[in-house]
Chain A
Amino acid sequence: MTDDSPVDRPVALVTGAGGGLGSAIVTRLASAGWQVAPSSHGHGSLSADLAVPTQARSLVARVIEQYGRLDLVVANHAAMAMATVDEHPVDDWWRIVDTNLSGSFHLAQAGATHLRRTHGSIIFVSSEWGVTGWPKASAYASSKAGLIGLTRALAKELAPDIRVNAIAPGIIDTEQLRVDAGAQGISLAEMKAHYAAVAPLQRIATREEISASVAFLASPDAAFYTGQVLHPNGGTTLGS
């Protein structure tokens, strides 16, 4: 891909690009030769609140306007908050689902027309918690589980033009982990040790390990993958 002139290089829209994993995905895809269109809520010309369907459509339109084509959508943005099911304020619970699941759907819907033209692909960033469920994370885990169903549905519906896959990563070493530790009143080191203890590989993931899974699914090496979920999680879903 790197031999092509900039105007012909494939374009990847990455949402949640300002976050820990998002910035690693941007770097990794750029080094693999992609032109990356990074979207981050509240920052820059590709800012979008993806809980709002019209903003998902406007984001895709702005990418087409600025880059002229679309070959890959990486739906990586996410909202997160933890509470028990009966104590989680109902509006906040739905804001998480509307951002993570509905936002990804509206992004895929808006991108599909352009991706059909380029025979592109979609990658949804789900989560280990979407596979296993997680206490006090019912909104987040529901939204991430929904993305796995959406992956299977759209993979069937959009084949053979567009490939649709997902990753369901385990715990990643990002700034979010510090925030989560603070919310639970423990140190970052304790937080990491807690998650490492339940993974057969005895550690949490680096951002680079997870972005590598995204880059693989986006690459020609994964041309026969659709409807699949990669689980880079250190073995946690094998059980502790």
Chain B
Amino acid sequence: MSFCREGSSREGSYRERRDPVNRGPQPVAIVTGASGGIGAATSRQLSLKGYRVAVLFFQSSSAAHALAAEVDGRAYQADVADPTAMADVVTRVEAELGPIAVAISNAGTYEEVALEDVTDAQWRRTIRIHLGGGFHLARAVVPGMRARRRGSIVFVASELALLGSTHASPYVAAKSALIGLARSLARELAPEIRVNVVAPGPVDTPLLPDRDRRPEYVSSIPLGRIGSPDEIAAAIVHVAEATWTTGAVYSPSGGLVIQ
């Protein structure tokens, strides 16, 4: 949170940043899984950068609405695994807030499960949320971005996609597939639209399993600690605005990914 406070004092309050008279038309950012953790931190930082943020949530309605009020954005409910729902919500966001300049696919779940115990429904749901979350969002925002010849898309993956894991094969496969999607779209949509990936290591959010908070694990991270949501959000916002970067996989992970 300290990053946000620093940003606030340096760059002014959310509302000052958004004065349409002084700033011209505000760029719009859409963030999925925005009600908490990395998504909420990203929404706050985008807002400080001058974006009007569409705060997408699936279940956490009150948290999403509180955040939307805080950042002077707007909250929208949608299931990222549902292509029709995502197309509809993008249409609503563009009608109500304006053309989307930045799209962040961040929504996700994390479940630990042994290979033999993965149910068909669990596998399907994991792939539909993580890979589908990126695919359905990209599919919905691309036509408008292409028409405007401008846009930036960031997928939030995981360092586990690069390193594997002993206990979350559906999650790892889905996040790894998301990297393949980003690399394909980076080539397909250049030069108008950039597509990048942020693959965070273990971050202090409710999704983080207890095993990743154990001292013996944390001490195995070269930088000696887990990350904060603000540190990941800073990476996401940076990559979203990095105008000569596309198809990149950036892994803020305390040194867990050194390759």
Contact = CB atoms under 8 A, between A and B. Distances in A.
Report, as a range, how many residues of chain B touch the other chain: 35 or more
B69 interface: no
A150 B115 contact: no
Main secondary structure of the interface of B (DSSP, over half): helix
Contacts of B170: 105
Report, as a range, how many residues of chain A touch the other chain: 35 or more
B114 A141 contact: no
A142 B131 contact: yes
Interface stretch (B95-103, B176-184, B229-237): B176-184
A107 B116 CA distance: 11
Contacts of A213: none
Contacts of A102: 123-124, 127
Contacts of A53: 120, 123
B116 A101 contact: no
A157 interface: yes
A69 B19 CA distance: 71
A134 B172 CA distance: 21
Interface in A198-236: 227
Contacts of A134: 184, 187
Interface in A66-98: 84-86, 90, 93-94, 97
Contacts of B167: 157
A147 B127 CA distance: 12
Contacts of B120: 53, 106
Interface stretch (A34-42, A108-116, A176-184, A185-193): A108-116
**Most A CB atoms within 10 A — which of B115, B138, B163, B175?**
B115
B90 to A, nearest CB: 11
25 contacts: A85-B138, A86-B139, A86-B142, A101-B127, A102-B123, A102-B127, A109-B115, A109-B116, A133-B186, A133-B187, A134-B184, A137-B184, A138-B135, A142-B181, A145-B176, A145-B179, A145-B180, A146-B176, A149-B175, A149-B179, A152-B162, A153-B165, A153-B168, A153-B173, A155-B164
